[in-house]
Structure 1
Amino acid sequence: MLLVFKVNTAICQVNVQAFIGDAVLLPCIYSQGQPVRGKVFWRDKDDNIVLDIGKDGPDPSTQNQKFRERVFSFPDEYVKGNFSIQLKDVQQSDSSPYECHIPSEDFQRRLVLTVSGKRVEATPGPSGGAAGTPSPLHMVLLCLPLSLFF
């Protein structure tokens, strides 16, 4: 007897930077073409519940106190496979790896949030130029399979 298993696990790590007091987007986009059938679980490095998303939407009642009233999702985007969350009023203690896990689809997205001190407003240099930082959308696009574009 021969058993063949297909493994669809998709794991990509995204690095996200924020400053104390900022709101930051933690991206999690499942783009395999079919709707997600089960729950979506967001966890931090200590396995604290950041947010659980079920068929009826986000369930803030199970959130760890540390994240209450600071984590928000985008329910209108769920049908597109977008389970990204926004973390508001970022604190130094929020620096951590985070994971978005969709067990029914065998999908995981790992993120590392690095929080720095207060944002310092930049002034243009002598050439008038400014430095740019990739947006969270750019970071999401870097983790998508190239086959989606060709």
Structure 2
Amino acid sequence: MSCFLHEKQYILLFSLFSVPLQVLIVGYVGDSVVLPCSSELNTAEGITVNWRHNDSLKVYDIIKGKISVEEQDSANENRTESFPQAYKTGNFSLKLNKLHFHDTGNYICHITNELLIYSMELLVKG
């Protein structure tokens, strides 16, 4: 009986944590890709979204509904854009232009107001 209870406790504990699905996006050198990110909140006011590459490189920020590239990693300068007209519908996707091989890696979109993190892998091919 104690083994059965232990097994049930493990299953319960495991079900409390969810692992986000990893999305694979394939792009080609010189082309553009759109990295998806969306929110259930249908407003841009007060929303903060942080886009990061390989956990630390700052790709793009949307702070209180306004674009902020002040601290953007220099490798992404003039190559990123979002869709401000779509913020009000909860779309915070990011377009990455003029792809380079060094763009390959993990990207996260962190919507701080909802404590949501979307994770995706970008593979850039020649």
TM-score, normalization: structure 2? Answer: 0.78
Quote the residue 2:112 is aligned against. Answer: 103
Give aligned-pair identity as a percent: 33
Task: Tell me how far apart the structure 1 counterparts of residues 25 and 119 of structure 2 sit (CA, whole Å).
Answer: 11
**Aligned AA for 1:87?**
L
Asked whether 1:82 is paired with 2:91, we answer yes
Gaps in structure 2 of 5+ consecutive residues: 1-15
Quote the residue 1:38 is aligned against. Answer: 47
Gaps in structure 1 of 5+ consecutive residues: 1-6, 118-150
Secondary structure of the corresponding residue to residue 113 of structure 2: helix
Is contact 2:42-2:88 (8 Å) kept? no
Note closer, same or farther for the CA distance 1:82–1:56 as it changes in structure 2 (3 Å cut). Answer: closer
Note closer, same or farther for the CA distance 1:12–1:34 as it changes in structure 2 (3 Å cut). Answer: farther
Task: Tell me how far apart the structure 2 counterparts of residues 55 and 46 of structure 1 sit (CA, whole Å).
Answer: 22
1:15: how far off?
0.8
Note closer, same or farther for the CA distance 1:24–1:66 as it changes in structure 2 (3 Å cut). Answer: same
Task: Tell me how far apart the structure 2 counterparts of residues 58 and 49 of structure 1 sit (CA, whole Å).
Answer: 13
Is contact 1:10-1:107 (8 Å) kept? no
Deviations 1:24-44 (A, max 9, x none): 1111111x2553643100001
**Aligned AA for 2:107?**
Y
Within-5 A mapping of 1:99-138: 99-117=108-126
TM-score, normalization: structure 1? Answer: 0.66
Moved more, 15-24 or 55-64: 55-64
Is contact 2:104-2:124 (8 Å) kept? yes
Deviations 1:67-95 (A, max 9, x none): 01000000000011100010000000100
